[in-house]
Structure 1
């Protein structure tokens, strides 16, 4: 009985921790979009989130960390989306369809503003480039779960590299176009280009 109560209390604490982390992150992202990344202070984020500066540092190392956590969460979603894809597809189609489903739920207006925030800061741009390495690894691991045979590893690594490259090009095209069309439109075009890359006459 005592063990059950302790487990319940730990569950409540963990839930509250996740809720607080999410509230701080959402507050920071909102302020970045309205006031600009450089103009947003830690004090402003803490005050708007209803926490102390000390509590902020319990959850995040810096305001840059808020963006990194947001990007890391998307990487986890990418991995889960690839694993959830039905069988009998090629690895490239598996990733393409997973990304199409994932990006369809994102709001273009909010995403384009966040993209501008990231591109406005050299530090965030550097971190943003690094995230693609993490995404490539996450997709590779997800593909290996679907095709666990060792003989497929090299092919799956290449599939992860080219699909993340295609995703990156799609994001860049979407950003340069100021999000005039849904992200899925740019993804479809980029993957169509990928599929035709080695079909020269």
Structure 2
């Protein structure tokens, strides 16, 4: 699933592009493996490069920092969700469309891998601060995506609310899921969050 989170849907690519994608994926997978084994703070950029079989200089050709490995993985997942949202029918209710899109994507992820990444994020105050800031950016990005599907200007205030509550539901679902010991899949928490939201509207 890391390949999807980094690159989204893989378009037709040449040999050079394929090699670059595979190298970036290898670096990301290596970084995540070391983060989970040694902790984020205990993993150096040099150790990632060495384990991935690349030079320090090559690392910086793909990522600006070790922090960017985690953030790029997450950003790629959001990009894939928004791309799918653009394909929904404008005849569908926006909140229902967003719920189905998020549930569809989240259900694809391996819980063990997501739990490990979540633990790494929670163990670092720096990463947690960046994660919270990323939610605000994704809310704005989701709003812009919704406006591309439902184009009537008069609907924009409502679409802003849909974006806010949808990202809020995702955020609460991930937080609740991260506090348990893996008994339930993350998608179950997401479905519960949207069900509770719909019940109160």
TM-score range for the pair, normalised by the shorter chain length? 0.7 to 0.9
TM-superposed CA distance for 1:170, in Å, is: 0.6
TM-score under structure 1 length normalisation: 0.88
Alignment partner for residue 75 of structure 1, among 75, 78, 90? 78
Mapped partners of 1:11, 1:110: distance in 2: 30
Deviations 1:59-108 (A, max 9, x none): 21211111111111111012023223345321111110101100111000
Equivalent residue number for residue 6 of structure 1: none
Mapped partners of 2:165, 2:119: distance in 1: 25
CA RMSD, 1 decimal? 1.6
Alignment partner for residue 178 of structure 1, among 164, 174, 181? 181
TM-score under structure 2 length normalisation: 0.88
Mapped partners of 1:11, 1:151: distance in 2: 44
Contact 2:88 2:149 in 1 (8 A): no
Tell me if 1:27 matches 2:34.
no
Correspondence 1:35-50 to 2 at 5 A: 35-50=38-53
4+ residue segments displaced more than 4 Å: none
Moved more, 31-40 or 121-130: 31-40
Mapped partners of 1:11, 1:100: distance in 2: 32
Stretches of structure 1 that go unaligned for 5 or more consecutive residues are 1-9
- What is the count of residue pairs matched by the alignment? 189
Higher-Rg member (1/2) = 1
Mapped partners of 1:111, 1:184: distance in 2: 11
The residue matched to 1:84 in structure 2 has which SS? Answer: coil
Moved more, 122-131 or 15-24: 15-24
